[in-house]
Amino acid sequence: SLLIGVGLILLMALTGNADAIDFSNIQDDAAVPAGDLFGPNTIGQTFVFYHPNLHSIHVRWVASADLAYSNESQIILHLRLANTTIDHVTASIPLSKLLHNNFAIFSFPPIPDSHNQSFYFFLDAAQANITRGSISVWASGEDIYPDGALLLNDIRTDRDLAFRAYYQPDPATLVETALRSLVTKLGA
């Protein structure tokens, strides 16, 4: 089964379908809802990314049990370099993909020069068309993430969103990781 796992890693490396998490950008504390996301309100997070090829951000949702919305409803993620006002990329997901207490994935083309860059993303519900209920994102109860902060309507708070950031490793890195894993397992 180890060889099958290594083979799958190599296959992903060769097809470009690999996904890796930046372990410095895992903030899983879900103590309180960040605030209602509707209309002109935005919920965002600043962070520093430590790898090239940033390509997805996952956020953990709070959805009320009575949530209702139109079929074309979407949430948009705007990703910017820190201290800029121009979107570097945007990504959207249908509101139907948001499940209470689960992560939803916003994917975009890999950003090659994301290594050691400061970013800011915010969520926009202007196209959500919510007719009943509410949505939010889980946040920490205090500032526990050292490389950024939660922003509500562009105002910094002393909390952090529950989020994760992923990158697309290059094939050479995946092959090296797979071979290192194989050598470690065979040596044990």
DSSP the chain: -HHHHHHHHHHHHHHT---EEEEEEEE----EE-----TT-EEEEEEEE-SS-EEEEEEEEEE-TT-EE-TT-EEEEEEEETT--S-SEEEEEEGGG--TTSEEEEEEEEETT-TTEEEEEEEE-TT--EEES-EEEEE-SS---TT--EEETTEE-S--B-EEEEE---HHHHHHHHHHHHHHHHH-
pLDDT of residue 174: 61
Confidence of residue 17 (pLDDT cuts 50, 70, 90): low
pLDDT of residue 169: 82
174 or 77: whose pLDDT is higher?
Answer: 77
pLDDT of residue 179: 65
pLDDT of residue 22: 84
pLDDT of residue 29: 95
Asked whether residue 13 carries a pLDDT value surpassing 60, the answer given is no
pLDDT of residue 5: 59
Q: What is the pLDDT of residues 88-130, one digit of tens each?
A: 999 999 999 999 999 999 999 999 999 999 999 999 999 899 9
Q: What is the pLDDT of residues 34-57, one digit of tens each?
A: 999 998 999 999 999 999 999 999
pLDDT of residue 181: 60
Q: What is the pLDDT of residues 126-169, one digit of tens each?
A: 989 999 999 999 999 999 999 999 999 999 999 999 999 999 88
